[in-house]
């Protein structure tokens, strides 16, 4: 398919049956987050470009290469949101959320946009579920967030995830370390590729993300930030780990883990499902105590994470654990007497009002075709009304599992179906 018409998102993810799975996954995330005190928040799909550029950082791939930027009719430079965090913190600052009990905990789900080469698990329009806790630097909050994320994966039945955890210290502590790292890179400039040399100037931490094997070999010997964090950040990290250990959440320490966005400080983590290969990152997060100041607010601690719904979907599918099987059909109406259709369709509608899932043939199928269709939709019962039944104002209700069949007066049909389905709500 040419690039011009290449789907910007994993199109199949938005169609049945995956669309049902996607909805079930997001609903499970929201319900879990709300049980932990999070409330839902949505931010605009596009915002001032500077909001993302200032926070995620000009040196990040997300801002430097992947942001969808456009100018509107008022000559404002806008960007499609590449993530939720900056928009959520902006909303927190602008809408008085700092006056509420802290930390303010918000969850979101929706489309994000990044201009990247589309491949399996990497799309230009993709979906994140996101959670942020703003207004507290308590290490228990970091653990709460990681527990929420890991708990969601567990609830979905995803086996084999890996949580990698690191601390990148406080921003104020970073300069001496960056000087060390630059000095190390200077010693090895001949062995790293052009991207890494450029990162030496912009943000040498990013050099750890290099995909170039020779540069990776150099970075394997580089000083790591976790060994150079200040006392306060180290103590904070020890407590985060103690909370995770007490909760029995497994993780591995990865002192080379740096995230792709510049606003992080202290705790950072990533979750991967290695079998996805190149796009194995199914979630990532961290603390961002300096972010609010970058957008003009007072110092405000915060921590959060996001997960890529499409990648989680691929992982679940690989394990044959896609949630949200198509909704079961309580009754399939096989109306074989043409004359009876309007009346039977009216009864079908009444049954739906009682909370039952009902379908009828809508494609002029003969009896055999209708029976097949009832099977296909997994109907628990069929309601058959042929000429003979119609003449007597009755129908045959057949239990598709037991094969048992009863004749029911049309006047009693809705009540009968509701009782049979286990007393669906009136």
The verdict on 306 binding ligand HAM (CB under 6 A) reads: yes
CB closer to ligand HAM out of 204 and 260: 260
CA atoms in the 13 A half-sphere facing the CB of 360: 23
User: What does the alpha-carbon distance between residue 366 and residue 264 come to, in Å, rounded to a whole number?
Assistant: 64
The verdict on 128 binding ligand HAM (CB under 6 A) reads: yes
Contact with ligand HAM (CB under 6 A): which of 87, 139, 304, 414?
304
User: CB of 238: closest distance to ligand HAM in angstroms?
Assistant: 21
CB closer to ligand HAM out of 107 and 333: 107
The verdict on 260 binding ligand HAM (CB under 6 A) reads: yes
Q: What is the gyration radius of the CA atoms in the chain, in angstroms? A: 28
The verdict on 273 binding ligand HAM (CB under 6 A) reads: no
Size of the site for ligand HAM (CB under 6 A): 27
Could you count the other beta carbons within 10 Å of the beta carbon of residue 379? 23
Contact with ligand HAM (CB under 6 A): which of 93, 122, 155, 343?
122
- Select from 79-87, 226-234, 377-385, 389-397 the region that touches ligand HAM (CB under 6 A): 79-87
CB closer to ligand HAM out of 128 and 167: 128
Contact with ligand HAM (CB under 6 A): which of 38, 67, 83, 331?
83
User: CB of 5: closest distance to ligand HAM in angstroms?
Assistant: 19
The verdict on 149 binding ligand HAM (CB under 6 A) reads: no
**C-alpha dihedral, 9 to 11 to 14 to 19, nearest 10°:** -120
User: CB of 119: closest distance to ligand HAM in angstroms?
Assistant: 9
User: What does the alpha-carbon distance between residue 380 and residue 357 come to, in Å, rounded to a whole number?
Assistant: 10
User: What does the alpha-carbon distance between residue 265 and residue 273 come to, in Å, rounded to a whole number?
Assistant: 24
Contact with ligand HAM (CB under 6 A): which of 55, 85, 210, 267?
85
Residue 167: closest CA among 240, 268, 285: 268
- Select from 120-128, 173-181, 203-211, 221-229 the region that touches ligand HAM (CB under 6 A): 120-128
CB closer to ligand HAM out of 139 and 285: 285
User: What does the alpha-carbon distance between residue 215 and residue 192 come to, in Å, rounded to a whole number?
Assistant: 4
Binding mask 274-303 for ligand HAM (x = CB under 6 A): -------xxxxxx-x---------------
**Residue 357, CA distances (Å) to 120, 327, 329, 380, 423 in order:** 35, 8, 5, 10, 13
The verdict on 126 binding ligand HAM (CB under 6 A) reads: yes
The verdict on 130 binding ligand HAM (CB under 6 A) reads: yes
Token pair 């994993």 is at which residue?
Answer: 10
CB closer to ligand HAM out of 104 and 395: 104
The verdict on 135 binding ligand HAM (CB under 6 A) reads: no
Q: In what order do the strands lie in the sheet with 252-253?
A: 39-40, 104-113, 125-134, 302-308, 281-287, 265-272, 162-167, 252-253
User: What is the three-class DSSP state of 381?
Assistant: strand
CB closer to ligand HAM out of 124 and 398: 124
User: What does the alpha-carbon distance between residue 233 and residue 108 come to, in Å, rounded to a whole number?
Assistant: 28
**3-class secondary structure for 76-129?**
CEEEECCCCHHHHHHHHHHCCHHHCCCCEEEEEEEEEECCCCCECCECCEEEEE
Record the tokens describing residue 168, joined without a space: 């990148």
CB closer to ligand HAM out of 30 and 260: 260
- Taking CB atoms, the residue at the shortest distance from ligand HAM is 308
Interacting residues toward ligand HAM by CB under 6 A:
83-85, 114, 116, 122-123, 126, 128, 130, 132, 260-261, 281-286, 288, 304-308, 310-311
């Amino acid at each position: 398919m040419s690039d011009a018409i290449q789907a910007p998102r994993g199109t199949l993810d938005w169609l049945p049956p995956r669309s049902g799975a996607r909805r079930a996954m997001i609903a499970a995330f929201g319900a879990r987050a709300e049980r932990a005190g999070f409330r839902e928040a949505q931010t605009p799909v596009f915002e001032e470009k500077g909001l993302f550029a200032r926070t995620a950082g000009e040196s990040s791939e997300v801002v430097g290469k992947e942001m969808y930027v456009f100018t509107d009719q008022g000559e404002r430079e806008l960007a499609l949101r590449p993530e939720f965090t900056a928009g959520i913190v902006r909303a927190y600052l602008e809408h008085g959320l700092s006056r509420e009990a802290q930390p303010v905990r918000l969850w979101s789900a929706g489309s994000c946009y990044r201009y990247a080469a589309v491949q399996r698990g990497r799309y230009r329009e993709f979906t994140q579920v996101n959670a942020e806790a703003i207004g507290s630097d308590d290490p228990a909050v970091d653990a709460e967030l990681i527990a929420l994320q890991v708990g969601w994966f567990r609830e979905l039945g995803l086996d084999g995830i890996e949580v990698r955890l690191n601390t990148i210290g406080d921003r104020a502590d970073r300069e001496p370390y960056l000087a060390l790292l630059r000095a190390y890179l200077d010693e090895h400039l001949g062995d790293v590729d052009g991207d890494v040399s450029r990162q030496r100037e912009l943000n040498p931490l990013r050099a750890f993300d290099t995909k170039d094997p020779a540069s990776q070999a150099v970075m394997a010997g580089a000083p790591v930030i976790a060994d150079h964090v200040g006392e306060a950040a180290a103590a904070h990290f020890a407590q985060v780990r103690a909370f995770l250990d007490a909760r029995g959440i497994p993780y591995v320490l990865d002192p080379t883990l740096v995230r792709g966005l510049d606003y992080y400080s202290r705790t950072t983590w990533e979750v991967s499902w290695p079998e996805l290969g190149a796009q194995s990152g199914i979630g990532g997060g961290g603390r961002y105590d300096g972010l609010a100041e970058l957008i003009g607010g007072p110092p405000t601690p915060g921590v959060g994470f996001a997960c890529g719904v499409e990648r989680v979907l691929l992982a679940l599918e690989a394990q044959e654990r896609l949630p949200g099987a198509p909704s079961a059909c309580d009754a399939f109406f096989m109306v074989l007497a043409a004359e009876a259709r309007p009346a039977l369709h009216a009864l079908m509608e009444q049954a739906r009002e009682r909370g039952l899932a009902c379908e009828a043939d809508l494609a002029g199928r003969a009896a055999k075709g209708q029976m097949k269709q009832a099977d296909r939709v997994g109907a628990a019962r069929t309601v058959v009304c042929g000429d003979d039944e119609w003449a007597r104002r009755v129908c045959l209700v057949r239990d598709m599992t037991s094969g048992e069949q009863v004749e029911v007066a049309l006047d009693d049909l809705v009540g009968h179906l509701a009782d049979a389905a286990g007393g669906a709500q009136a």
